[in-house]
Amino acid sequence: MRIRAGFEITYGCVAPTPMLLLLSVHPSRRCDLITPDLLRTDPATAATQYLDSFGNLVSRIVAPPGQITLAADFLIEDAGQPDAQDPSAKQLPVEALPQDVLPFVLGSRYCETDRLSTMAWSLFGNTPPGWARVQAIVDYAHRRIEFGYHHARPTRTAHEAHEERKGVCRDYAHLAITLLRCMNIPARYCTGYLGDIGVPPVDAPMDFSAWIEVYLDGRWFTFDARHNTPRIGRIVMARGRDATDVAISTAFGTAELLKFEVTTDEVLEGCDERALRSLAAE
């Protein structure tokens, strides 16, 4: 399967503004790129890149005063398979977890394990450990929160999402991650592209999506508390403890968001070959 993905985001800055951007396809998926995933800026602005402590590809720029548009447009190959499932996957004891997994059983900025631990154990302490317990927690987060873009609030924590019972995909992710960590199950936050592939299209503007990965039986499995069903065509951009680590942009100054468009579409076989050849030549 081929997927065409990209974005066009415009900010307005009142002065030269340093920015960190996590808008690139994650290094683990870059081998699947058919055309380059290149960050374009208008006006042209120098950019450097580095890998952060979570292995994400970060771009650094200094946005000039006025408007700056960030854009990308690429093709990527995908297996076209839904998220992997393994109901027999077992939970590992904390003492058996690799050192690089341990940060994902600890509380973090938006995932207050100290505030939800007692409740988590009362709700899930009698569930079978392993896949069944993870699915029970994801089911709970899915039912607990009402989705709505008008519910978005960038400062909402997992505890607040639980009490307010509303939010967007990041809130589902934060709540599920927090409850999993309360049960000593490593869970990390993911952000990236998720188009309406293999499901009925949604009558709403496309956006980046948030989901989670859970460590069972020595590997990471994808779960999605918002949709709560295996999906096709995820393209991960960044992973971290919570949304703090994977913000698509961090501005060290005033940067007003003026435009935000995301594209994620399956390219059907034989469809618009001229456009694909044009894109590959860019």
The CATH number assigned to the domain holding 55 equals 2.60.40.2250
Number of domains in the chain: 2
- Domain ranges, residue 200: 94-232
Average pLDDT value for residue range 79-102: 97
Whether 115 and 165 share a structural domain: yes
Q: Is the pLDDT of residue 67 over 60?
A: yes
Whether 152 and 260 share a structural domain: no
> Three-state DSSP class for 96?
helix
Q: 168 or 281: whose pLDDT is higher?
A: 168
Average pLDDT value for residue range 182-197: 97
Query: Percent of the chain beyond pLDDT 70?
Result: 95
Whether 148 and 227 share a structural domain: yes
Q: Is the pLDDT of residue 15 over 80?
A: yes
Q: Mean pLDDT, the chain, as a whole number?
A: 95
Query: What distances in angstroms separate CA 10 from CA 2, 35, 82, 95, 155, one per listed residue?
Result: 27, 23, 33, 46, 22
Angle, helices 113-124 vs 169-182, to 10°: value is 70
232: which strand partners? none
Whether 127 and 206 share a structural domain: yes
Residues near 96 by beta carbon (within 8 Å), at least 6 away in sequence? none
Within a domain: residue 87? no
Within a domain: residue 238? no
- Going by C-alpha positions, the residue among 166, 157, 170 that lies closest to residue 115 is 157
Whether 127 and 222 share a structural domain: yes
Whether 262 and 207 share a structural domain: no
Within a domain: residue 190? yes
Average pLDDT value for residue range 176-182: 98
Average pLDDT value for residue range 178-207: 93
Letter string b/e over residues 28-66, b meaning 16 or more CB atoms within 10 A of that residue's CB: ebeeeebeebebebeeeeebeeeeeebebbbbebebeee
User: How much is the pLDDT for 274?
Assistant: 47
Q: 205 or 267: whose pLDDT is higher?
A: 267
Q: 151 or 275: whose pLDDT is higher?
A: 151
Within a domain: residue 151? yes
Q: 80 or 274: whose pLDDT is higher?
A: 80
Within a domain: residue 89? no
Whether 219 and 255 share a structural domain: no
DSSP state of 154: T
- Best-predicted range by mean pLDDT (138-142, 147-151, 270-274): 138-142
Whether 172 and 210 share a structural domain: yes
Whether 221 and 142 share a structural domain: yes
Whether 171 and 271 share a structural domain: no
Q: Is the pLDDT of residue 267 over 80?
A: yes
Within a domain: residue 241? no
Q: Is the pLDDT of residue 262 over 70?
A: yes
- Going by C-alpha positions, the residue among 95, 111, 175 that lies closest to residue 140 is 175
